[in-house]
Structure formats: structure tokens, C-alpha cells
Structure 1
Amino acid sequence: VGRSSVQAYAYFMFPDNVNLTEEAEARLTALDEHTELGSGMRIAMRDLEIRGAGSLLGAEQSGNMSAVGFDLFAQMLEQAVAATREGDAGAADGLPPALSDITVNLPGHTYLPEEYVPDTDERVLWYRKIASAATMEDVEAIEQDMLAKRPEMPAAARNLFAKARVKAFANEHHMSTVTVAGGKLIVEPVAVPRDKMVPIRRAGGRYLAEKRKLTLPTRYFKVEEGDALFGAVLDFLKELSGGEGE
């Protein structure tokens, strides 16, 4: 415990045989990177990036806003500000388009590193733009804008745009879920052509036509352990859709 000139310390311990989740690793990295006095705000902003925003005006950091994440938060905030400026109080009560109803949960670090975009307000602005990108073209335009201003894009930022592409593609093709759980990719609702089912079945995949739900082991993508799946999954979804969205 810190007292006056005595520095405080914290030790985090976990079993060697238990793998940390990506979110836990990101939180520990944030604490490790911000150890100097007065770093509380930076840690809080990094936590916001990791798990999504909590209550906008109150002290509560859980509930509906945390559940839907940063996407809906950014869209609702933008809509509320616009409605207030235009003097339309009723417009602020409506919900934005349902991009936030799409769940994309694929392994890989997806954030804007502080060393890449040092200014907190600028990072939040970029997150808002990316979260609001409803089409593949929107994502491409935002990425090119960022590259023009900050050419040396790190892997985590590239992954963030790759994830945004998957989400935009899902939005354009009316998919609600593109997620990896237990070593399997789950996509729904999705139509799988018969000619695509042979390699899917060989890889141990299953398709429930009545639910339009596809479950496919991630080994199907033949990527190295630790590699992000965003690009491979997007290419796969394009194949299922007959190459649409390229």
C-alpha cells in the first residue's frame, strides 16, 4: 500500500496451466504500460476500448451500454448530439441502424495502440468512425484516410479494420453472428450452397438448414496458431455468397 513517498505495488497471479483470455491480457498490458503517477485516465480509456462503454453520464460501468459495446454507444451518441443541435428532442429517442445487433467475435488483438494514435480524443474519434462503417466501402475509405495521416499502421490496428470489414460484410448480407467459440466458427443466419458443403463436411462442419446456422472447426482455415482469422473468415464468407462484396 502506498503512503506518501512509499510506492504501492500490485501482483497478479494465475495458474501456469490456465490460458489468459485476450481481454485479460489486454488489461494486464494496459496496467503494465501505464505505471507512472496520474495514469488513471489512460487506464480508464484503455479499459473503455477493451470492453465498450458503460453508463454515459453516471458512475455505473455495466448494464445495457456495456453489453452492446462501443458500436451502439458511438452511434447513439452521434445521433443524440445531432438531434440536440437541430432542436429535435424526439429524434434522440430513436435507435440507430442495427449495426450493433451484429456480433463479430474472432481471435486477434483489435485496437488502436497509444503509440500509434497518442491523443485520446483522436483515438475515440477513429473508433466512432470505424464503429459506424456499415459497408465495405466505408471501412476502406476510413482505413485509407488513417493511412494517409499515419502510414505505419501496427498489426492491432490492421486487425481492427479487418474486423470492421467482416462486420460490414455481415451487415450487407444480413448475418447477425460471426464468432469463434470452442475452436469453431459459428455463422448465422447464412445460406450455404450445396457445392460448398463437401469441403465443409470433410473438415467436420455442420449446417442446420432450418436455422440457417453454420458451425465449422477453425482448422478448416489452415492458419498458424496465434494468427488472426479476420481475412480468412472474410474470404470464406465471400465464397459462400458467390464472391459478392469483393
Structure 2
Amino acid sequence: YEETDDQTRVIQEVRRDMESPQPMDRLLCGDVGYGKTEVAMRAAFKAAMDGKQVAVLCPTTVLANQHLTTFRQRMMLFPVRIEGLTRLQTKKEQQEILTDLKKGFVDIVIGTHRLLSPDVEFKDLGLLIIDEEQRFGVSHKEKIKKLKTNVDVLTLTATPIPRTLNLALSGLRDISLIETPPRDRLAVHTVVAPFNSRLVASAVKQELERLGQVYYIHNRIEDIDRIARLVEKLVPEAKVITIHGQMPGSELEKRMSAFIGQKYNVLISTTIIENGIDIPLVNTLLVDRADFYGLAQLYQLRGRVGRSSRQAYAYFLVPPLSELTAEARERLKALKEFSELGSGFRLAARDLEIRGAGNILGHRQHGFIEAVGYEYFLQLLDKAIREQKGEKIEEIKCQINLKIDFRIPEDYLPQVNLRLNLYKRLSSLEQPDEALKIREEVEDRFGPLPPSVENLFYYARIRFYGQKIRATSLDRSGLRLVIKFPPETNFLWNKVQGLLRRYGGSVSPLGLISFNIKAEDEQSFLREALFILQELSSYIIIN
């Protein structure tokens, strides 16, 4: 097995975390089919070799069964006992596994929500792997964390839910990204179209002609057989089989094995196959009523195809676009927009924007953030965390009142979201040079800047230096620039005197410094004000 560069880096990060005295809590975000399971397998093997037990929590029986087969094949030559705990095991088998788990005879247990039952006890649990964490509720995750407080936790996902992504981005959890695709991998060709039986027939025929297999997702058990008959009628040569979550475990396993063994070439299924199923021959996916699914769900479904070097196709079938809700249209648009390889993380970030970040200490996994906006929410969170750590928090707010127009006119930038985005970018500069790069980009995209937008770029840099010199306010009185400082501010006064002489300025005992600026127009006033602030920033003494 040849690792990608990202996999090698992530394996090292996980190993370092597992060997550190603090328990690991790492989110591994890698695109669908990018080899997250490989990283998890190596972590599980390391824990088992160190004498610890490992629990692998999967959202579905089908996925747990697939992991069980993969783990057993990989660790066949080593003294590692791996068992499954799902509804595919009989009551008697489950009881035997539970007894051996408690005694420490089972090294790795792979299961569904069954692992969260009160009767599951470990002798020495060292690592918990949560696969496809977006499928679990907060209460499930908190329940398994209670198993043992000093357990290492590795969470795998392609599209983290807003709450998890927010926890990772705000530094409350570590995050690792796998962004390099396996060699020869192609992006899935995505089509969003109204349901049309001719389209279904041609998509299925095209796949069967190259001796491949097809998934058709229909999430209503009551009429899944009707869809199977429709596909058989449209494509007589298709060998169709259906599966869904209400089937007995043994029947489900039998049908899945028959499909994997290529006795059938079209699988009509509910979303039971959504997570982690890996059959390289399946390279066409059709999803009925795609408008009913969430963004991460559609992305996971699309990830079931394109797992080899063949070109794969995903057809999301919807009612006429005019009948869709605005949010459904937004989701499908995002899915088409992010169809290239490695876009799961960006899709999750878009989901965070659409739905909000959820409640970190509570159970809601999305929402709330729209009340204050994501940036401000993170600032509040960062402040609260630093207060808890006992760090000194310095808040410098510089009020600016230069009586000059700093607006982006509607006739220059008509789209309100683009205007807001530009204001936001200019208000959160980390370096003043960033404003010049943004200015070039705006001029290149939208043409020469109107005077008020030119003023805005000056204003952004003036604000940056105002904060840097710790001024509490910048005011304009006629042609005078008046700067107010807190009493404890200290400067290299001999340098400041030279600047005051140059501009005929003065200093008052109340912490006010004023400069006379001989300016013909607003822009020359802003230019001089910016120069003065830049000079002052090199004279301030920061204790």
C-alpha cells in the first residue's frame, strides 16, 4: 500500500497524539475515498499492539460489516482478535463477544450504536474511532466519551457537521486534513436534473455497457419494489436487487454479498449504503428526490461512486426546479459547484454558513450563529476561552470619525453579498499590505474605483494603524487630525517632536495629539493621516 503525502503526515500526527500524555481528540477530515480508513486501521493496530482495546463506531450495519472484513484481512498475520457487534450477530454470539470484551480477550470491536448499550464493558479501552461522525447525534457522542475520560478519540468524516467543524476551527479540537487524492482518481461528473425516465434508462444502459454496476437511491421503503420494476422495464437487460434497513440482518448480508459478487448489476437501495461502502465497479449513481437530502448526505452518496480510475457519474433527480425551496436549490448548487476532487471540507464550510454553528456546550448541531455572525462568534468564543485560562485580555477599540464618505456604491457593486464580503475583508486585515492586494483584485474584477471606495481602502489601513498605536479615537476637526490615547501610552517622544514640528502639531496633558494637515481634498487628507499613523506606529513603546 502506497500512502499519499497527506496520509503520511496525518499518520505521524495521530501517532504523536497517541503517544502524548493528554488524551487525543482529533478530527480527521478527508474526502470520500481518500484513505481515512487506512489511517484509522493503523491507529487501531498501534493501540492493540500496545495492549489497549479499540472500539470502532459505525453508523450502519453494512459499513460495520465492511470494516470488519477489511480489518481482519489486514491484520490476519498478527495476534489481534477482531469482532463485530451489530444486528448481524445472533444474541448468543453477541453475549459471547461481550463476555470476552469485558475479560480483555477481544482487541478490536467494530459495531453500530449497539456499542453504546449499557451492557458493553471494556477491560482497558484505549482508542475510540468514530467513522462518519456526521451521522451521530450529540447524545451518542457524549455517551461514548463517558465510557472512559482518558480515551484517545479519532473522528473520521468527509463533511463534518457545523458544530464539529466549528469546534475544530475554534481550536477546541485538533484537525487533520487529507487533501491529496489517490493516484488516477477522477472527479465525479455531477448532473442535477428533473426526473425523466429516458435519462434514467440511458444512465443505467451506459454503465452496463462498460460492465459496471449502478446504485439507485430511493428512500421510501413502501414503494421501493415499484422503482425496481420500473428500472427492469426501462432496461430489460438489468439484473436488479433491492435492499433496505428493515430487512432481517441475514437477508441484507446475503443480498449485499450477491451484489458485490456481481450476480446483480443494479442495486435499488435506501440511504443504508450512504457511508463508507467501497465497491470499485459501481460508477453510476442515481438519487431520487435529491431535494429531500442534506448537503453532507448527498456528498456522502456521491462518494459511493468514483472509487477507481474510471469516470463516474452522479445524477441527482429532482422535481422541476421552480418547485424547490430556496434552501434545497442552494444545497444542489453548492454540490455542483464543489464537484472537483477534495471539496468535502469546503462543502462543510458552506454548510456551516448556510445552517450556523450549533451549540458547543448544548446538543444542537447547527443554528444560533446567524444571531451574531460567524467571525464575531469566534471572537467571543476566543475571549471566553482566554478568560478561562486566566490570560490577560487587551481590547483596543479605535473609534474613527473623519467625516469622509467610505461607501461602496450600489452602481459599482450591485450584489449585496459581494459588498458585505468586501467590507468584512477590509475590517479584518492582519497586515496593511493585504488592503493593497484586495484593491488590485477589486479593480481587476469591477473596474476603476470610485472616490468613496478609494477612501475605504485608505480607511482600512488607517484603522489598522490606529489599533496598532492603541489610539482610542481618531477625529477630524477642519484640517486637523486629533488622536486620543489612553494615559499609560508611551512613545519615543524625541521622535514624535520631529513629527509635531513638521505638521505644526501639539500635545495636551489629556492624552490628545493633534496635527495640522494642509490638504486640498479628502484623499490627500487621508494620505497624510495614514503617513502620520505609520510614523507613530514605529515610535510607540509597547510594555
Query: Given the two structures, how large is their TM-score scaled by the length of structure 2?
Result: 0.26
Aligned match of 1:213: 512
CA distance in 1, matches of 2:402, 2:528: 11
1:29-64 CA-partner distances (Å, limit 9, x unpaired)? xxxxxxxxxxxxxxxxxxxxxxxxxxxxxxxxxxxx
Count of residues in correspondence between the two structures: 160
The answer to whether the 8 A contact 1:99-1:171 is kept is: no
Unaligned runs of at least 5 residues, structure 2: 1-369, 386-392
Residue 427 of structure 2 corresponds to residue 131 of structure 1: yes
1:162 positional shift: 0.4
SS at match of 2:373: helix
CA distance in 2, matches of 1:205, 1:126: 35
Aligned match of 1:193: 493
Aligned match of 2:476: 180
Aligned match of 1:146: 442
Distance 1:94 1:154, change over 3 A: farther
1:158 positional shift: 0.7
* Amino acid across the alignment from 1:186: V
Aligned match of 1:114: 410
CA distance in 1, matches of 2:406, 2:460: 10
1:222 positional shift: 1.4
CA distance in 1, matches of 2:435, 2:395: 13
Aligned match of 1:91: 381
Aligned match of 1:34: none
Distance 1:174 1:203, change over 3 A: closer
Aligned match of 1:229: 525
1:240 positional shift: 3.1
1:57-98 CA-partner distances (Å, limit 9, x unpaired)? xxxxxxxxxxxxxxxxx9x51236779xxxxxx939959x98
1:181 positional shift: 3.2
CA distance in 2, matches of 1:77, 1:100: 21
1:226 positional shift: 5.2
State, as a whole percentage, how many aligned pairs show the same letter.
18
CA distance in 2, matches of 1:133, 1:78: 16
Distance 1:221 1:93, change over 3 A: closer
SS at match of 1:229: helix
Aligned match of 1:67: none
* Amino acid across the alignment from 2:494: R
Distance 1:154 1:100, change over 3 A: farther
Aligned match of 1:160: 456
Aligned match of 2:28: none
* Amino acid across the alignment from 2:481: L
Q: Return the index of the structure with the highest Cα Rg.
A: 2
Distance 1:243 1:186, change over 3 A: same
CA distance in 2, matches of 1:172, 1:226: 23
Distance 1:93 1:136, change over 3 A: closer
1:166-211 CA-partner distances (Å, limit 9, x unpaired)? 0011222322222213553211326363354367368663213x54
Distance 1:200 1:148, change over 3 A: same
* Amino acid across the alignment from 1:91: L
1:70-89 counterparts in 2 under 5 A?
76-79=372-375
1:117-139 CA-partner distances (Å, limit 9, x unpaired)? 01122111111211222431332
1:237 positional shift: 1.9
Q: Which has the higher strand share?
A: 2
The answer to whether the 8 A contact 1:102-1:171 is kept is: yes
Distance 1:100 1:153, change over 3 A: farther
CA distance in 2, matches of 1:129, 1:199: 31
SS at match of 1:232: helix
Query: Given the two structures, how large is their TM-score scaled by the length of structure 1?
Result: 0.52
CA distance in 1, matches of 2:395, 2:446: 27
